[in-house]
Structure 1
Amino acid sequence: MNVPRRPSHRVAMVAAVATAVLVVTGCGGNSSKSGGSPSTTTTQASPTASPSASAPAGQHNQADVTFAQGMIPHHRQAIVMADMAEQHASSSDVKALAQKIKKAQTPEIETMTTWLKSWGEAVPQGMGGMGHGNASATPGMDMGMGMGMMSDHDMDQLKGATGNAFDTMFLTMMIKHHEGAVEMANTEKQQGAYGPAKEMAGNIVTSQTAEITQMRKMLGTASPSATATP
């Protein structure tokens, strides 16, 4: 008869439903865990998403500021002298050297100006205490003076010279000027903290020491620069 079989059928159905409920509950638990997993991953990844927060690339000290504030007017005067050479020099070698100096130092002025602005420091105006109506009104902007900088009288004499006399005067003055720049750059290499500034200082020492040697040869008085250091 079919009556005894009905209870067995019902028991089987109940067991099947219970199993299904357990399976669904288990899946729900796994889903919750997996849902929490992305949150944990995101939290762990967030510190590496902004490495600049602890990067020391922007750190600088007073030596870096002094280097930039002193070298900007120093470079500006070298460019003024180079412009004079293009107009008054008789030697093509002197003119070529003047163009090389101007090409190298103009972008360095722009770079150092950017540094000072980003640091919130004053940017020297003109040639910083050199006169000619360009003296800086900010204290400390003339730290480049004495480091091979020419006086107003020197610049007027150079401007008034022509031909071979100009060439000799230009080379003599520019050697002194470069020696001052090398001394300033060596100080930055030793005392500075800002990587790009120290790198620029190293480039100045290398390039201007080589130019000093070149100019001494052009004058016939070749000798190593006393201010250059390895």
Structure 2
Amino acid sequence: MTAFMRTLRRKPARRIAAVGAVAAAALLLSACGGDDMSGMDHGSSGDSSATATAKAGAKAGNFNDADVTFAQMMIPHHEQALEMAKLADGRASDAEVKDIAKKIEQAQDPEIKTMKGWLESWNKPTAAESMPGMDHGGMDMGDGMMSDKDMDELKAMKGKEFDKMFAQMMIEHHNGAITMAKDEQKNGKNADAVKMAGDIVEGQSAEVKQLQSIVDRL
């Protein structure tokens, strides 16, 4: 009887311990679930780039393959335009060439950041995969990209020679961007990407006319 009574006394204690463990587990799961639902950042609390990407994604909305291709191809295109524009510092002598170079930097650098934000929010790589016939060392695919040789020649120029070559090369470069942007206007789905394409067509078409007038008078 004594052993039996001891067994009876132990069982409630065990039940209480088991109930306590279950309750604690439930509270833990509830807390974790609440954190996930509230969007708690389980990584770095100061990751401002992730916040920026999330905002870009929220604004980006729906997209298709044309939007992805537009961003992936326009990023290196803009990057080369920036490289060309920066060469004007210390080489260009024409005031109008210097002014256009500054405008290119001011317009295209923010667009590069925006397009990279789109691709990150779409979970797409910022660089396009190589395709047959594509030479990104100097893309030879009708998009106006300069070859390494072209860039080396431009770097070696100064004064009036630089001004004329810069204007001629940038006309070709801009025309390539305009073609790409028109394709996005026709086939793209994302409203922001299509709008940027329209801005590129309008802005760079105007610059092509200005650049041609510079070539004509030099």
Common fold, TM-score beyond 0.5? yes
Matches within 5 A, 1:138-177: 138-139=129-130, 145=139, 146=141, 147-177=143-173
1:142 to partner: Cα distance: 6.2
CA distance in 2, matches of 1:58, 1:208: 26
CA distance in 2, matches of 1:205, 1:56: 22
CA distance in 1, matches of 2:135, 2:89: 27
1:57 to partner: Cα distance: 6.1
TM-score (norm 2): 0.67
CA deviation map 1:151-182 (0-9, x unaligned): 00000000001110000000000000000000
Q: 1:60 to 1:85 in 2, by over 3 A?
A: same
CA distance in 2, matches of 1:161, 1:116: 36
Report the equivalent of 2:101: 98
CA distance in 1, matches of 2:62, 2:213: 41
Matched, 1:195 2:203: no
Matches within 5 A, 1:215-226: 215-220=211-216
Q: 1:148 to 1:57 in 2, by over 3 A?
A: closer
1:199 to partner: Cα distance: 0.1
| One of 54, 57, 62 as aligned partner of 1:59 | 62
CA deviation map 1:101-154 (0-9, x unaligned): 110000000000000000111012xxx8xxxxxxxxx43596892300000000
One-letter code aligned to 1:172: Q
**Unaligned runs of at least 5 residues, structure 1:** 1-54, 129-137, 222-230
Matched, 1:68 2:71: yes
One-letter code aligned to 1:86: D
Query: Secondary structure of 1:65's partner?
Result: helix
Q: Give the conservation status (yes or no) of the 8 Å contact 1:148–1:180.
A: yes
Flag the structure with more relative contact order, 1 or 2, with Cα contacts below 8 A and sequence separation at least 6: 2
TM-score (norm 1): 0.64
State how many pairs are aligned.
155
1:92 to partner: Cα distance: 1.4
CA deviation map 1:165-220 (0-9, x unaligned): 00000000000000000000000000000000000000000000000001111111
One-letter code aligned to 2:162: F
Report the equivalent of 1:180: 176
The list of structure 1 runs, each at least 4 consecutive aligned residues, that deviate by more than 6 angstroms after superposition, is: 141-144
One-letter code aligned to 1:102: E
CA distance in 1, matches of 2:90, 2:126: 29
RMSD: 2.1
1:87 to partner: Cα distance: 2.1
CA distance in 2, matches of 1:175, 1:185: 15
Q: 1:164 to 1:139 in 2, by over 3 A?
A: same
Q: Give the conservation status (yes or no) of the 8 Å contact 1:70–1:142.
A: no
